[in-house]
């Protein structure tokens, strides 16, 4: 089976597929010696699943009305259905299986039964039985979200993946990613690119024909995913991978060399990271610093806010590992597809234009202060710059500075040792660029976020897979904005860099240097190719 998709990262990988979303991969049949204990687990799971459904019912009732909420009422009733629960308990007692497996088997049995019924209403209930059983299984397994753990390095295959799922799967075990949906500009794509994992999105796969364990080749150059490839194909791909290794080896010869053009113009090349674990890749690729640490990644894929101390330890580790090199940490940019349940963000019609980034920080200063305290405390362990995302006005920055002053006062009062880091602004809205002459007076530096700047300048949702042809970061309007930001920064003697994905676009490197951009921050794997390009420029 061969499918064509859009490539996010042009590498090649081969390995076993793990299909996420149909849950088969994580349910194992085990022998349970104590059946009553398993039945108790089921009953406990039913109780918590019922509670979840009750909350969902009420929330949906309030936000979308009775007819939409009714679905959860039906599921509550089905979860209490005697026939269903008896089937589960019967399996546990007679087959001596574990609780989650019994529910899984009952789920499949009722699903098959309902989906072949003549009555349209009953047929529709098949999806409900699946949905509520999966909820029950998750509750039995004790997770608020599905367990996501790869046992061996694998190619993740899914309908779609959220950034938090990518984080929970862990970069060590992700060989490649192939999804039916998704956009090449999404944070999921950015994360997998940062991990150096070949990734294809918009791949029209029939997921029920693909099974966990199937061999798969992900060819990021051709944009192809080949399931169960023949031997000849495997050989060809392995040869290609060897060549890629050879190219990488040659690039490694550039380690230790300067990012300098032939005529002697040098530029900073930094790394974008999402966790302390990525620092290894940054150093391995000879990053001159960290140009963007997306600190919101610390908030994703978990059930509660990271504490001040936990954040402090992470920032300290990054700063110490970078040994005095510039580390730019962006304060958390939660919102849009980077949501975490515990933030309890409302569902929005236009999340990209909604409650995200600095807006959350300003509305919830207590939360913001926790992060600021952790950052200011960590600042004494290295060379820290922090930057604020999604800025649109001078007033926002002034309010941020007021909060910063409060944090400093509080830390003084508590006699805690800290240092005030450099404070920069992300320019990722047209508003910020248009007033960048004013912002430059009050900021220590600028970092241009071209991913959002493109989205907001061109009015193109960066997550909409159908709009990718319209998402054009080379658009003259975007490039003029970058020039304007650079000129305004320099008028006030401020540093200006690019940390959006465009920074790694080798077609534009020469132009960025001509514009006077001081630094480019890119995925670790893009650092050495960028250095190679810079050194070829006159």
Enumerate the active-site residues: 187, 499
Return the one option of ligand PEP, Mg ion, none that residue 294 interacts with (CB less than 5 to 8 A, by type).
Answer: ligand PEP
Distance CA 76, CA 69 (A): 11
Three-state helix/strand/coil letters over 216-276: EEEECCCCEEEECCCHHHHHHHHHHHHHHHHHHHHHHCCCCCCCECCCCCECEEEEEECCH
Q: CA–CA separation, 324 vs 507, rounded Å? A: 31
**What residues numbered 415-434 form the site for Mg ion, per CB under 5 A?**
428
**Half-sphere exposure in the Cβ direction for 25 (13 Å, CA):** 24
| Options 137, 195, 463, 499; binder of ligand PEP; rule CB under 6 A | 499
Which of positions 329-348 make contact with ligand PEP (CB under 6 A)?
333
Per-residue tokens: 379: 């600042």
Helix (H) or strand (E) holding 362: helix 358-363
Asked if 41 touches ligand PEP (CB under 6 A), the answer is no
* Cβ nearer to Mg ion, comparing 15 with 351: 351
Chain centroid, CA 264 distance in Å = 37
List the one residue from 5, 500, 519, 524 that touches ligand PEP (CB under 6 A). 500
* Residue number with CB closer to ligand PEP (12 or 450): 450
Phi, psi of 335 (to 5 degrees): 125, 180
- Positive or negative torsion for Cα 91, 92, 95, 101: positive
| Dist. CA 461–CA 456, nearest whole Å | 8
User: Please, which residues have CB within 8 angstroms of residue 166's CB and are 6 or more apart in sequence?
Assistant: 174, 177, 188, 191, 192, 195
425 touching ligand PEP, by CB under 6 A: no
- Which span sits near ligand PEP by CB under 6 A: 8-16, 117-125, 141-149, 449-457? 449-457
- One residue of 190, 267, 481, 517 binding ligand PEP per CB under 6 A: 190
Considering the complex, what minimum distance in angstroms separates the CB of residue 499 from ligand PEP? 5
Q: State which residue, 15 or 449, has the beta carbon closest to ligand PEP.
A: 449
> Residue 428 interacts with ligand PEP (CB under 6 A)?
yes
> Rounded to the nearest whole angstrom, what is the least distance from the CB of residue 478 to ligand PEP in the complex?
11
Would you say 105 or 520 has its CB closer to ligand PEP? 520
- Helix and strand tally (H, E) in the chain? 19, 16
CB-wise, 100 or 428, nearer to Mg ion?
428
- Closest CB 216 distance from ligand PEP, rounded Å: 28
Among 85-93, 145-153, 441-449, 513-521, the segment contacting Mg ion (CB under 5 A): 441-449
Contacts of 313 by beta carbon, 8 Å cutoff, 6+ apart: none
- Fill in the per-residue mask, 228 to 257: x = in contact with ligand PEP (CB under 6 A), - = not in contact: ------------------------------
- In the complex, the smallest distance separating the C-beta of residue 500 from ligand PEP, rounded to whole angstroms, is 3
The CA R_g of the chain, rounded to the nearest whole Å, is: 25
| Gap between the Cα atoms of 78 and 69, Å rounded | 15
Beta strand residue intervals within 290-393, DSSP E? 290-294, 326-330, 383-388
Among 38, 281, 296, 452, binds Mg ion (CB under 5 A): 452
Pick one of 15, 449, 473, 519: the residue that binds Mg ion (CB under 5 A).
Answer: 449
Give 206: exposed, middle or buried? Use CB within 10 Å, 0-12, 13-18, 19+: exposed
449 binds ligand PEP (CB under 6 A): yes
**Separation between Cα atoms, residue 461 and residue 451, nearest integer Å:** 10
Among Mg ion, ligand PEP, none, what does residue 450 contact (CB within 5–8 Å per kind)? ligand PEP
Q: Does 450 bind ligand PEP (CB under 6 A)?
A: yes
Which range binds ligand PEP by CB under 6 A, 75-83, 208-216, 405-413, 446-454? Answer: 446-454
For the four alpha carbons of 66, 67, 72 and 74, in that order, the dihedral sign comes to positive
Nearest approach, Cβ of 390 to ligand PEP (angstroms)? 8
How many residues bind ligand PEP, per CB under 6 A? 11
Binding flag, residue 165, ligand PEP (CB under 6 A): no
Binding mask 451-490 for ligand PEP (x = CB under 6 A): xx--------------------------------------
- Secondary structure percentages of the chain, helix, strand, coil, to 5: 55, 15, 30
Binds 499: which of Mg ion, ligand PEP, none (CB < 5-8 Å by kind) = ligand PEP
Distance in Å from the first CA to the final CA of the chain: 47
Positions in 271-310 near ligand PEP (CB under 6 A) = 292, 294
Q: Which residues bind ligand PEP (CB under 6 A)?
A: 190, 292, 294, 333, 428, 449-452, 499-500
Q: Which residues bind Mg ion (CB under 5 A)?
A: 428, 449, 452
């Amino acid at each position: 089976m061969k499918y064509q998709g859009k490539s996010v990262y042009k590498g090649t990988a081969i390995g076993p597929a793990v299909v996420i979303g149909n849950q088969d991969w994580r349910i194992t049949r085990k022998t349970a010696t104590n059946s009553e204990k398993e039945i108790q687990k089921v009953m406990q799971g039913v109780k918590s699943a019922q509670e979840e459904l009750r909350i969902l019912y009420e929330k949906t009732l309030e936000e979308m009305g009775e007819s939409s909420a009714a679905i959860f009422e039906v599921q509550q009733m089905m979860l209490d259905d005697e026939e269903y629960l008896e089937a589960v308990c019967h399996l546990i007692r007679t087959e001596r299986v574990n609780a989650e497996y019994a529910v899984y088997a009952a789920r499949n049995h009722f699903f098959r039964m309902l989906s072949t019924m003549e009555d349209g209403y009953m047929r529709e209930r098949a999806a409900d039985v699946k949905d509520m059983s999966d909820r029950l299984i998750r509750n039995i397994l004790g997770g608020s979200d599905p367990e996501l753990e790869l046992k061996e390095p694998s190619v993740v295959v899914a309908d779609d993946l959220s950034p938090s799922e990518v984080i929970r799967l862990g970069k060590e075990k992700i060989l490649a990613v192939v999804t039916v949906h998704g956009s090449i500009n999404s944070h999921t794509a950015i994360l997998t690119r940062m991990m150096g994992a070949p990734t294809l999105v918009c791949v029209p796969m029939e997921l029920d024909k693909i099974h966990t364990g199937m061999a798969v080749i992900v060819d990021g150059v051709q944009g192809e995913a080949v399931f169960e490839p023949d031997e000849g194909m495997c050989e060809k791909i392995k040869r290609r991978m060897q060549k890629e290794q050879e190219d990488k080896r040659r690039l490694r010869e550039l380690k230790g060399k300067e990012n300098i053009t032939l005529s002697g113009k040098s530029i900073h090349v930094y790394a974008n990271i999402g966790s302390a674990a990525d620092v290894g890749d940054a150093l391995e690729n000879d990053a001159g610093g960290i140009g963007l640490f997306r600190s919101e990644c610390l908030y994703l894929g978990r059930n509660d806010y990271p504490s001040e101390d936990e954040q402090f330890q992470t920032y300290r580790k990054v700063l110490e590992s970078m040994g005095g090199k510039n580390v730019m940490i962006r304060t958390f940019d939660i919102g849009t597809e980077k949501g975490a349940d515990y933030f309890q963000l409302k569902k929005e019609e236009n999340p990209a234009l909604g409650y995200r980034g600095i807006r959350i920080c300003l509305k919830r200063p207590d939360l913001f202060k926790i992060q600021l305290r952790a950052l200011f405390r960590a600042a004494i362990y290295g060379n820290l710059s922090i930057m604020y995302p999604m800025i649109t006005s001078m007033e926002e920055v002034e309010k941020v500075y007021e909060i910063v002053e409060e944090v400093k006062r509080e830390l003084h009062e508590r006699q805690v040792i800290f240092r005030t880091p450099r404070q920069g602004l992300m320019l990722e809205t047209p508003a910020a660029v248009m007033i960048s002459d004013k912002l430059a007076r009050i900021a220590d530096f600028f970092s241009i976020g071209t991913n959002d700047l493109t989205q907001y300048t061109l009015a193109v949702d960066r997550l909409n897979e159908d709009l990718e042809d319209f998402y054009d970061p080379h658009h003259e309007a975007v490039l003029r904005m970058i020039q304007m930001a650079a000129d305004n920064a320099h008028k006030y003697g401020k540093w200006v860099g690019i940390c959006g994905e465009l920074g790694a676009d080798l077609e534009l490197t020469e132009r960025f240097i001509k514009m006077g951009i001081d630094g480019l921050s890119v995925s670790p794997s893009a650092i050495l190719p960028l250095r190679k390009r810079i050194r070829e420029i006159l």
